[in-house]
Amino acid sequence: MSGIRFNTLRRTAAAFLSAAAVLLSSVPAAAGTNTEKAAETAAEKTAETTVEKNAETAAGASGEFAEQIRVQCEDNFSRYLKTGDPEDLQDPSVCTLPSVRTAGALRSAASARTGLPASFDLRSSGTVTPVKNQMDWNTCWSFGTIAASETSILSDLGRTFAEFPIDLSELQLAWMTLTAPDASKTGLNGQNGEGYVTGSSGSAAVLSSSSNVTAAARAIEAGSGPVTESEVPYKNREGYTAVYGGSDLWYYPADGDWSVPEDYRFRRAYTLSETRVIPADKVSGRNAVKAEIASGHPVDIGCYLRKDDTIYYNPDTAASFCSRAISNHEVCIVGWDDSYSRDNFNENCRPDSDGAWLAKNSWGSELSDAPDRNAFGITDENGRKTGYFWISYEDRSLTDAVSFYYDITPDENDLTEQYNYLNAPATMKLTGSRKTPAANIFTMDGTSDLTAVSCETLSGGASVTYEIYRLNSGYSGPTDGTLITSLNRTYPYAGFHRETIDAGANGQLKKGDAVSIVVSIRAGDGSSEIPLPYGWTQAFADRHNANYPASRLTGYYNGVINPGESFVSDGSSWTDLTSVIGSVSSADSGYYTFDNLPLRIYVRQSEESAGSDPTAEPSVTPTAEPSATPTPESSAAPTPESSAAPTPESSATPTAAPSVTASTASYGPAASEQAAADRYTAVSVSAAPATVSGSAASGAETGDANRPAALAVLFAAAAASALILIRARRKRKN
């Protein structure tokens, strides 16, 4: 039985009890008959039972989810203790492929994997953008995300890079992923201080931090990018350059100010509509990754790669095979070759079978000029290093692959109601054997129309039900109101999903309206799931740095969840997420901080509201890319890096000390632009108990002294019947 119907029964019971109380209060004292006393006793007992049962149910739901969090905290920390790798704080099996049970529902996805060629190179389509160089920073994860995004957008536009030389900003994405929003400028309404916090100020503390594609995707989900490279170029503001090997070989070193103005936090040229997370460690996952690439959507993937490594990487053939399950780098996969010989890998560390992925790296290329010019990767027919390399299918360091889909014509008036600014690098999965919906509640800060909803899933083949409610005044929970609209979807892969909706007149929202998004996710195996984003705390960073000083963490995460924002349900009652997390009892729980549930609604604010509300001022990057002639593949100083903390990226700077000079290069066009107000706000709401008033005629007024008592008995009995139905349904459900 759905939580909505349970709530309806409970409200009905409460109404009957209230009516009974009103009727009893109207009975004259002299009319204290046995009937009246019986009714009063029945009403009191039923009310006590209702309160106790609701308290027990809420406590049970809170305890069940808290126990799941405790177990995952301890398991993840135990795994970390064995490796010293903060990446191991995340369960590697949290995302799954579609199960056999969902194969029928995913026939279209399966058909896309048939007829895959033995080898494929997406570069032949003309949609792969030039290789770039991350230089001195640990930003491979941002480069991998942007590389996959650029080609995906070109593929969906049906244009080549030569026709449309798209160039998106890696610096804007990296900076906004690893810094907390400035609440004084962006008006986060209750989420002040949420985000990644560095131990010291300055560019180095931010850009030398480690991150991953999960965090990058969540920044984009929140509206932080992508913007164009022309707006936020990958260089220091002063234009300092470093020369190595000759005047034509230069790059931008770590010197100077690499920070990005807060004005750019919530700008975007394209709106993310979906990510697809595909475990690539099995043959089924391998075929799914191939299908994505063949459709024009390359994937970001984690691996192990160091430029000075000769154990796992063969520089002569640009072939990498790591036999350890540890990653320190992220790249973009753009092709494959099933017959790539295992003999191309190092003799002392070689896979069992042939076959490899073609990876686009971010350490530069000899195919273009500075600052992206650098010698790394596969050698072409002219003897130039291309910036690409091979990774064995059997490489044990490979992580989940992630592809990106965008709305290539975003609506600049779309605003996002959300509480998610943590950009969490990891996710826990809360599960249940029956329906376990999750919800967020928002308060509208202007007149607007509902346009879209979004959520995250962790299982391939998950079925999702979205429900949007306009809540009653003094609502008692996320479903205590009028259903505006609902829709059902099934997704082939785990990831982020944004759905456009047309709610018509029902979707017109007013300032002050409390609106909830209620999402129920059913995994392919029939279980329910709730994604819970998280990161590590300062306590964990301090412990890690004391034990592993050679691989220091430069910062930590600070999650903010306020009462009344996020809720979880066991299928019968709602529990505030703050209560669940607050009841987690584990010695390791202090090493984790959590974000709100990743549920969002999107609205189009009216011109009147937008004009009167400074937080609604649109600031969207134009979708048109600069019409420059396509530049050859980039290249510059290499940066072997780490997307996990224990093995920080080695500097891209050449071993010979470069000479540093300053140029008159300016930083982007936006330094003089008006600060863009945050259009992605969400108001913290404290849920108030619902009030139910009884409506019955007074017996004293009719002259029938016994009638109120008799009706009270009937109402109390009806209330008890409703509660019995609830218990019966629960037993049947269990």
CA of residue 222 relative to chain centroid, distance: 8
The answer to whether residue 149 sits within a structural domain is yes
484 and 602 part of one domain: yes
Q: Is the predicted pLDDT of residue 665 greater than 70, yes or no?
A: no
CA of residue 511 relative to chain centroid, distance: 27
Q: Which residues contact 246 (CB under 8 A, 6 or more apart)?
A: none
453 and 420 part of one domain: yes
**pLDDT value of residue 434:** 80
**pLDDT value of residue 248:** 77
Q: 92-96, 199-203, 361-365, 728-732 — which is least confidently predicted?
A: 728-732
Q: Are 486 and 422 in contact (CB under 8 A)?
A: no
Name which of 151, 130, 209, 148 is nearest 176 in CA terms.
209
In a 10 Å sphere around its CB, with 0-12 CB exposed, 13-18 middle and 19+ buried, how is residue 523 labelled?
Answer: buried
Cα separation, 568 vs 591, in Å, equals 23
Dihedral of the alpha carbons of 164, 169, 170, 173, in degrees to the nearest 10:
-130
- The Cβ of residue 704 has, within 10 Å, a number of other Cβ atoms equal to 15
Q: What is the pLDDT of residues 572-607, one digit of tens each?
A: 899 999 999 998 877 777 899 999 999 999 999 876
Phi/psi of residue 108, each to 5°?
A: -65, -40
* Token couple for 514: 């409390």
Q: What is the pLDDT of residues 487-518, one digit of tens each?
A: 999 999 999 999 999 888 889 999 999 999 99
In a 10 Å sphere around its CB, with 0-12 CB exposed, 13-18 middle and 19+ buried, how is residue 63 labelled?
Answer: middle
Q: Are 559 and 578 in contact (CB under 8 A)?
A: no
More confident residue, 671 or 548: 548
**pLDDT value of residue 609:** 57
- By residue range, what is the domain housing residue 540? 414-616
Number of domains in the chain: 2
Cα separation, 374 vs 616, in Å, equals 44
Cα separation, 716 vs 308, in Å, equals 78
381 and 455 part of one domain: no
Q: What is the SS3 assignment for 58?
A: helix
Q: Is the predicted pLDDT of residue 170 greater than 80, yes or no?
A: yes
* Token couple for 50: 């209702």
348 and 470 part of one domain: no
Q: Are 300 and 145 in contact (CB under 8 A)?
A: yes
289 and 427 part of one domain: no
The answer to whether residue 238 sits within a structural domain is yes
Q: What is the pLDDT of residues 610-654, one digit of tens each?
A: 543 333 333 343 344 433 333 334 333 333 343 333 333 443 433
The answer to whether residue 443 sits within a structural domain is yes
Q: Is the predicted pLDDT of residue 324 greater than 80, yes or no?
A: yes
Q: Is the predicted pLDDT of residue 683 greater than 80, yes or no?
A: no
* Token couple for 440: 């967020």
Q: What is the pLDDT of residues 100-132, one digit of tens each?
A: 434 333 434 444 445 899 999 999 999 999 999
Q: What is the DSSP annotation of 257-325?
A: -----GGGTT--SSEEEEEEEE--SSHHHHHHHHHHHHTT--EEEEE---TT--SSEETTTTEE---SS
**Helix H or strand E segment including 421:** none
Q: Which residues contact 651 (CB under 8 A, 6 or more apart)?
A: 136, 639
What is the band of 410 on the pLDDT scale with cuts at 50, 70, 90?
Answer: low
Q: What is the pLDDT of residues 423-437, one digit of tens each?
A: 999 999 999 878 899
374 and 512 part of one domain: no
Please name every residue paired with 428 in a beta bridge, in sequence order, or none if there are none. Answer: 532
Of 661, 682, 716, the residue at which a domain comes to its end is 661
More confident residue, 519 or 683: 519
Q: What is the SS3 assignment for 112?
A: coil
Q: Which amino acid is at 728?
A: A
Cis bond leading into 626, ω under 30°?
Answer: no
The answer to whether residue 200 sits within a structural domain is yes
- The Cβ of residue 639 has, within 10 Å, a number of other Cβ atoms equal to 27
248 and 312 part of one domain: yes
Name which of 571, 466, 456 is nearest 519 in CA terms.
466
Could you identify the residue written with the tokens 């191939």?
A: 290
Name which of 162, 127, 121 is nearest 147 in CA terms.
127
What is the band of 450 on the pLDDT scale with cuts at 50, 70, 90?
Answer: very high
The answer to whether residue 340 sits within a structural domain is yes
Q: What is the SS3 assignment for 584?
A: coil
Name which of 458, 422, 645 is nearest 535 in CA terms.
422
Q: Is the predicted pLDDT of residue 710 greater than 60, yes or no?
A: no
Of 583, 616, 649, the residue at which a domain comes to its end is 616
**CA distances, 719 to each of 43, 54, 476, 695 (Å):** 8, 14, 18, 15
* Token couple for 654: 């050449």
Region 238-266: mean pLDDT is: 89
Cα separation, 718 vs 17, in Å, equals 9
433 and 379 part of one domain: no
More confident residue, 580 or 91: 580
**pLDDT value of residue 95:** 73
365 and 419 part of one domain: no
More confident residue, 705 or 67: 67
Going by their DSSP bridges, the two strands 414-417 and 356-360 should be labelled as unpaired
Q: Are 519 and 466 in contact (CB under 8 A)?
A: yes
238 and 363 part of one domain: yes
**Alpha helices for 465-618 (secondary structure H):** 538-547, 577-582, 607-612
In three-state form (DSSP H/G/I as H, E/B as E, the rest C), the secondary structure along 161-214 is CCCCCCCECHHHHHHHHCCCCCHHHHCCCCCCCCEEEECCCCHHHHHCCCCCHH
Q: What is the DSSP annotation of 59-119?
A: HHHHHHHHHHHHHHHHHHHHHHHHH--GGGGS-TTSSBPPPGGGTTTTHHHHHTTTT--SE
* Token couple for 104: 């029928």
Q: Is the predicted pLDDT of residue 677 greater than 70, yes or no?
A: no
What is the band of 362 on the pLDDT scale with cuts at 50, 70, 90?
Answer: very high
Cα separation, 309 vs 11, in Å, equals 66
**Helix H or strand E segment including 600:** strand 600-605
* Token couple for 631: 């530049």
Coarse DSSP helix, strand, coil percentages of the chain, rounded to the nearest 5 percent: 30, 20, 50
- CATH number where 358 lies: 3.90.70.10
Cα separation, 536 vs 182, in Å, equals 21
Cα separation, 214 vs 204, in Å, equals 22
Cα separation, 299 vs 305, in Å, equals 17
**pLDDT value of residue 111:** 41
Long-range Cβ contact pairs of 23-26 (< 8 A, separation 24 or more): 23/694, 23/696, 23/699, 23/708, 23/709, 23/711, 23/712, 23/715, 24/708, 24/709, 24/712, 26/698, 26/699, 26/700, 26/708
Q: 312-321, 355-364, 672-681 — which is least confidently predicted?
A: 672-681
**pLDDT value of residue 136:** 92
Dihedral of the alpha carbons of 563, 569, 574, 579, in degrees to the nearest 10:
-40
Region 706-724: mean pLDDT is: 41
For 426, which DSSP code? E
Cis bond leading into 371, ω under 30°?
Answer: yes
Going by their DSSP bridges, the two strands 388-392 and 319-320 should be labelled as parallel
Dihedral of the alpha carbons of 113, 114, 119, 122, in degrees to the nearest 10:
-50
Q: Is the predicted pLDDT of residue 716 greater than 50, yes or no?
A: no
Residues in the chain: 734
Q: Which amino acid is at 330?
A: E
The answer to whether residue 458 sits within a structural domain is yes
Region 334-354: mean pLDDT is: 97
More confident residue, 143 or 74: 143
In terms of average pLDDT, the best of 18-27, 44-53, 352-361, 725-734 is 352-361
Phi/psi of residue 566, each to 5°?
A: -120, 145
Q: Is the predicted pLDDT of residue 696 greater than 60, yes or no?
A: no
**pLDDT value of residue 40:** 47
308 and 286 part of one domain: yes
Cα separation, 93 vs 147, in Å, equals 25
Q: Are 450 and 413 in contact (CB under 8 A)?
A: no
Q: What is the mean pLDDT of the chain?
A: 78
In terms of average pLDDT, the best of 183-192, 405-414, 665-674 is 405-414
The answer to whether residue 97 sits within a structural domain is no
The answer to whether residue 264 sits within a structural domain is yes
351 and 476 part of one domain: no
Q: What is the pLDDT of residues 6-25, one digit of tens each?
A: 344 444 444 444 444 444 34
Q: What is the pTM of this model?
A: 0.77
Q: Are 252 and 134 in contact (CB under 8 A)?
A: no
